[in-house]
Amino acid sequence: MARIDPDNRGLRLTVRYTVLTLIAIIFVFPLIFMVMSSLKPDHQLLTDTSSLRAFLPVGDISVNNYFDAFKRAPVAMFVFNSVLVTGVTVLLSLLVCSLTAFSFVFLRWRGRDLVLAIILATLIVPFETIAIPLLLLSSKLPWIGLHGLTWGWLNSYRVQIVPFIADGLTIFLFVQYFKDLPGELIEAARVEGASWGQIYRRVVMPLSGPVLATAAILKFLAMYNQYLWPLMVVQEEGYRPVMVGLQYFFQLNPAWGEIMAYLSLITIPVLTFYLFLQRAFIASIASTGVKG
């Protein structure tokens, strides 16, 4: 590389950046189109698709589509439902999965290896293959709540939360991380007479920032973007998440401006979140690739 003269090097750099930028355009153009279209009235939105105007904030620009979207559907409720379901699932998942992984790595108990093997085996069962029987099961499960004992979980928050708290991938991520923690720390705490609960809370958890971030991001993406499951188990409007709420915009004549506004509304917060925590997002995907 050292022998390349400066002019040639400049040319090479230009070529490289041009290639990188052209590819970048392929990845962002639909998203730019979405946001720009959400600001335009329907008739302009459709005519603009015939030129580069489709990607520019030109013409009759307003946020009317957003107001109309809120009028057409209970958008705020869908967002609330999604945030609630996603938030609660992520928190419970971090707690339950880290406890399970803690037990596998730091404690010795009868049946441990078998239980771990079973949990890892579930990694090759795609959710789609259990969705149908899980639907039947959920329609028959008992629940004790404000109305006493009731049967059937359909149309509720719990049916969207509880089945997704524990999963093989999250447990696996915690196990991998805990194995690399210095064992002397735990031993020292044991010698000082700390209980397992104290070790979990005061020693292991404070050291687990990176894996908590990884697991939280992966769970967040999976839960917020869920579609198949809420589509099947939630018919009542009051419990619908944002992805299923989309159906409100496809009655007879789709109002494309409103659809683009709704899509932008449910996507931009996630994209912003991603752009701020970009390194953490990418690191969490990368860590699923590091198999033990």
Span 101-130, contacts to another protein by CB under 8 A: 102-113, 115-116, 118-120, 122, 124-130
Q: Cβ neighbours of residue 197 under 8 Å, at least 6 residues apart?
A: none
Instruction: State the minimum distance, in angstroms, from the CB of residue 116 to another protein.
Output: 8
For the bound state, the minimum distance from the C-beta of residue 34 to another protein, rounded and expressed in Å, comes to 6
**SS3 state of residue 151:** strand
**Nearer Cβ to another protein, position 148 or 197?**
197
Q: Which of residues 61-90 bind another protein (CB under 8 A)?
A: none
Q: Which stretch binds another protein (CB under 8 A): 3-11, 65-73, 163-171, 208-216?
A: 163-171
d(CA 174, CA 158): 25
Pairing of strands 142-145, 148-151: antiparallel
Residues 26-65 that bind another protein (CB under 8 A): 26-28, 30-31, 33-34, 46-47, 49-51, 54
Report the site for another protein in 188-217 (rule: CB under 8 A): 196, 200
Which residues, 226 to 285, sit near another protein by CB under 8 A?
227-228, 231-232, 243, 246, 256, 259, 263, 266-267, 270-271, 274-275, 278, 281-282, 285
Which of 62/139 has CB closer to another protein? 139
The SS3 assignment for 30 reads helix
139 binds another protein (CB under 8 A): yes
Q: Find the angle CA(209)-CA(212)-CA(213) to the nearest 5 degrees.
A: 85
Report if residue 225 touches another protein, rule: CB under 8 A: yes
Q: Is 159 helix (H, G, I), strand (E, B) or coil?
A: helix
Residues 6+ apart with CB under 8 A from 132: none
Contacts with another protein by CB under 8 A: the residue count is 101
15 forms part of the interface with another protein (CB under 8 A): no
* Beta bridge mates, 143: 150
Residue 185 binds another protein (CB under 8 A): no
147 touching another protein, by CB under 8 A: no
Report DSSP letters for 211-265, one per residue: HHHHHHHHHHHHHHT--HHHHHH--SGGG--HHHHGGGG-SSS--HHHHHHHHHH
